[in-house]
Amino acid sequence: MDFKKLAQTLIPDKDLLPLEEYERLYPERSLEKGAEVTRLAPSPTGFIHLGNLYSALADERAAHTTGGVFYLRIEDTDLKRKVDGAVESVIRSLDYFGINFDEGAEISSPLNKYGPYYQRARASVYRAFAKDLIARGLAYPCFCTEDELNAVREEQTNEKKITGYYGAYAKCRNLSEAEIYANLKAGKPFVIRLKSQGDPSRKIIFRDAIKGEVTVTENDQDVVILKSDGIPTYHFAHAIDDHFMRTTLVIRGEEWLSSLPIHLELFSVLGFKLPKYGHTCSLMKVDGGVKRKLSKRKDPELSLDYYRKSGYYPKAVVKYLMTILNSNFEEWERKNPQTDYREFKFSISKMGKSGALFDIDKLNDISKEELSKLTAEETYEFLYGWVKEFGTEADGKHFADKEYIISILNLICGIGGKKRRKDIVRAETGVSMLDYFFDDTFSPEYSYRFDGGTVNAVLDKFAAAYDENDDNSVWFTKVKAVAAQTGFAAEMSDYKANPAGYRGSVADVAEILRIAVTGMPNSPDLCTVMKIIGKERTLKRLAAGRV
C-alpha cells in the first residue's frame, strides 16, 4: 500500500510544517539540571475540585522547589463538556490558594513560548504527526460505525474477552487500499487509529515517580488518535503536548495508570523521550466506617468552591494538603511553626502510594491554628474579604465599623492577651460568632435553667448595680453580691460544701446574665462583652431577658 499517498489523501492540510520544524519551534527548555517542568491540564468543565488542587499543589511544589516551570494547559478537545468562564475559574480558584502558574492559558508571561495552550488551537501539530504515522504505516483510517463498535463490545463482553479495538477485532486494520479508497469515495466518516505494534504477552516494568515500580502489559489496542472531526483524543494530544511543551514530570490521577501502556507506545512510535510520570492516589474519606473515594455527588467538600464559600483560610487548606502530600511535612511544620510552607523540601517520591485519607476534622484543627497566628487586623481583613463576597447585608454593615469589630476580635480571640484563643475555624462561623454584638443580628433564644422569678431577680439586681467603669474584679464582686441576694452561693467552695443549701452557685448567676446579654450559655469574658456592647445595650438586654 502507498502509505504516503494515503496520508496525503486523509490529511491534505496545507498548514502543516515539516516535523523537525516543530522541534525547532519548541526547543528543549534551558533550565538547571533537575528542574522539573510540570503542568495542570484540566478540561474546561467548570468543576474544579480538591483532587485538582491536590495535584496542582504537587505540580507547583515539584516545579518551584527545583527551579522549574509550572504551566496551565487546557484540554478542550471535548466541546460538549466546555463551560464558559471555566479557565478563569481554574486560575482564580488556584490563586485563592496561593498557587500560581508561570505560563500557559490566560497567563500573561514572557515565558509563553510553548503555546498555544488550548488544545483546540493546536490542531495542526497533532495532524502533522498523525499524517506522519499514517505515512509510516503506523496509523490507519477506521470507518467502523458506532453500532458496529457496540456490537463488537457486546460480543467481547459475552465471551469474557478484553473489550476494545485490537487484534482480530480491529476490522479496518487490514482493509485493502481499494477498500479504503472506496469508503472515502462513498464519503464514509473515519477516525485515525494507531496501528499498535504491541504484544500483550509482554510485560513492561515501569518506574512511577509516586507509586514506584509498576508492571504493566504492553498495549495492543488500536486506539483512536484523531476523532472523526480531526481533533485528537486525550492519548494523542497528551503525547504531542507534553513532548512539545517539554514537560519533564506528568503528575496526574491514578485513573490514567491503565492507559499508560498506550502512552508508552505513542511516545515510542512518535520518537519522543518519555517524561517521568507520577500517578497520584485518589482522595478518600471514611463514611460510616467505610473508606471510599470522595464523590462529586455525595461530598460537597470535594468542590473547591466549598472552601471559599465556607471561608476556609486558604493557607490552612494548602497546609492540610501538604500533610497528605508528604507525611513528613507535619513534623517539619512542628519544628518550624513560623516558617513558610514553601521552605519545606517537598519530595514527589514521598507522596502516598495508595488512597489518601481526607479528614475534615484535621483540616478544621489546622485552620483554627493558622487563624490563631493572625493579628486582629489580619483577622479582620480575612473575615471582611469573605463578608464582601459571601456575607449578608448586615455583615457588610457591621464590618464597615472596623474599630468595633477589632475590639470584638481582640476579645473573642484573646488577641494580645496571655492565652490566645482558637475559636475561629473559618470565616463563615467566625463572622456569625460576632452576631450578638449587634442589635440587628442579636436573636436570642433564652434557655434559662431557673424559674422566672429567680431569673428576673438576678437580672434586675445586677442591672441596678452595673457600672461600665468597673474593672473585672469589681464587676465579679457585684455578680457575687447578686448571688448572695438571690439565694445562690457567692463562693464556689460554699456551694460545694452544701449544695442543698443554695439554689445554685455564682457560676449559675453568671450564666443567667450571659444568656440575657449574649443569648448563649457560653461566651468569652462577659465583663468585656458588656464593655464592648456598651452600658445602654447591656441594660436593655438585661431588661429584655426577663421572663
What is the contact surface with ligand GLU in residues (CB under 6 A)? 41-43, 75, 238, 250, 252
* Nearer Cβ to ligand GLU (255/377): 255
* Nearer Cβ to ligand GLU (43/217): 43
First CA to last CA across the chain, in angstroms? 98
Distances (CA, A) of 259 to 96, 278, 302, 316: 32, 13, 25, 34
Classify each residue of 422-449 as buried b or exposed e, where b means 16 or more C-beta atoms within 10 Å of its C-beta.
Answer: bebbbbbebbebbbbbbeebbeeeeebe
Residue of 378, 381, 532, 308 whose CA lies nearest to 442 = 532
Which neighbouring-strand residues pair with 140? 193
* Nearer Cβ to ligand GLU (250/317): 250
Question: Can you list the alpha helix ranges (DSSP code H) found in 253-359?
Answer: 260-270, 304-309, 314-325, 329-335
| Distance of closest approach, residue 103 Cβ to ligand GLU, in angstroms | 16
Task: Compute the distance between CA of residue 293 and CA of residue 287 in angstroms, rounded to an integer.
Answer: 10
| Distance of closest approach, residue 421 Cβ to ligand GLU, in angstroms | 42
Question: Degrees (nearest 5) of the Cα angle 23, 27, 29?
Answer: 150
| Distance of closest approach, residue 55 Cβ to ligand GLU, in angstroms | 7
* Nearer Cβ to ligand GLU (75/102): 75
Q: Are 387 and 430 in contact (CB under 8 A)?
A: no
> What kind and span of H or E run contains 507?
helix 506-518
* Nearer Cβ to ligand GLU (43/441): 43
Task: Compute the distance between CA of residue 518 and CA of residue 527 in angstroms, rounded to an integer.
Answer: 12
Rounded to the nearest 10°, the torsion over CA 78, 79, 81, 87 is 100
State whether residue 428 is helix, strand or coil.
helix
How would you classify residue 116: left for phi > 0, otherwise alpha for psi between -120 and 50, otherwise beta? beta
Q: φ, ψ for residue 243 (rounded to 5)?
A: -70, -55
* Nearer Cβ to ligand GLU (252/531): 252
| Distance of closest approach, residue 229 Cβ to ligand GLU, in angstroms | 18
Distances (CA, A) of 298 to 285, 292, 302, 368: 11, 11, 9, 26
State whether residue 525 is helix, strand or coil.
coil
Residue of 396, 165, 117 whose CA lies nearest to 262 = 165
* Nearer Cβ to ligand GLU (242/370): 242
> What kind and span of H or E run contains 409?
helix 402-412
Classify each residue of 69-103 as buried b or exposed e, where b means 16 or more C-beta atoms within 10 Å of its C-beta.
Answer: bbbbbbbbbeeeebeeebbebbbebbebbebebbb
| Distance of closest approach, residue 87 Cβ to ligand GLU, in angstroms | 13
* Nearer Cβ to ligand GLU (122/238): 238
Q: Which single residue brings its beta carbon nearest to ligand GLU?
A: 252
Q: Are 450 and 515 in contact (CB under 8 A)?
A: no
* Nearer Cβ to ligand GLU (278/430): 278
* Nearer Cβ to ligand GLU (251/425): 251
* Nearer Cβ to ligand GLU (180/356): 356
| Distance of closest approach, residue 432 Cβ to ligand GLU, in angstroms | 36
